[in-house]
Structure 1
């Protein structure tokens, strides 16, 4: 289909996080929040969600998350491990809220384990939190600098037909129509911006407006009325008070 593919040596989320940290991609479109634990600078949820579910697209900025939680990188990883991850069991009775409270109070899982009531919060065996933490910090990935360039190419229509139609029994007409839409989309130019059609000039200083008071006086002189206008003239002649009546 012309989409560039990178094969991860281990966890896909870890490899994608490495690519995002290396500036090769904007962020990770995934529902797996372990991506933030692996260090992805941005995670985007619900990007591929069905329209019928009406789920809003959410973007999580890791630096903002750490700042608002008031956690260091290591503390954030330990909190995620306490909340539950793929590499370590969970402690019954400790969810997201309690995990954050404990990390902010004690600073690390190691310190927390020394203070937990083993009856109220039984720790499973084994509980490889140190190994999990180390893997989140240094996962098995191909470094961004060692990856081939990400290039989008034209879809291989006949190759897709061979695979999807002849081998997987998809409808050929639908496959060719889909390939046609991909090709048509690739041929479209990006929407132009106004700057592409007009030269942007610095904002000029506005022309000063004539003095409104002075203009009123000149008009009054030409008409033979008092300078303050008809209402102003009436006020001067009758010495109107605040209440509207004439002063005695």
Structure 2
């Protein structure tokens, strides 16, 4: 996801553009949040602990619990999140989507081998590669946000591009995503780790494009 090594290049060439901030520092700020990367983080975090939150019918709810707690945390600290969901992938990404499908097939095969050999570390690594934010997961997240009264919408194409566009136009102060591509789409301010599960204890990174 994103350009490999871009963050390190920024840290080396333009250190003033990269800083860490506390959530309280963002009080009153309106932020466009990349919903897909957020939901993926919630699913990965719980799966990494060797368990999954489910209903009595066996339906996964990890993403909903994560979304609920992180959104409440933002609201309690005075942030105004606007969640943006991925729309239809651009046609020019057809080759990239095919590569992803091939990687999934390889990951499934590697996972089976790791499980047969009892290699839990490798099995977890491959399992993360197979986690996917499905249309059903997105719809469940939308229903939860609607019940919470938190604004959201579906982008025409990629969520990170739409988040960047909202920030460029001044409709929000920053774009929040783990995807460094958001900067390449022109977001003046990118927030990383804003929706990372609290258990990971990663600092919020604030990256300024013009600096």
TM over 0.5: no
Structure with a larger share of its residues in strand: 2
Q: Which has the higher contact order (CA 8 A, sep 6+)?
A: 2
TM-score normalised to the size of structure 2?
0.29
Structure with a larger share of its residues in helix: 2
TM-score normalised to the size of structure 1?
0.25
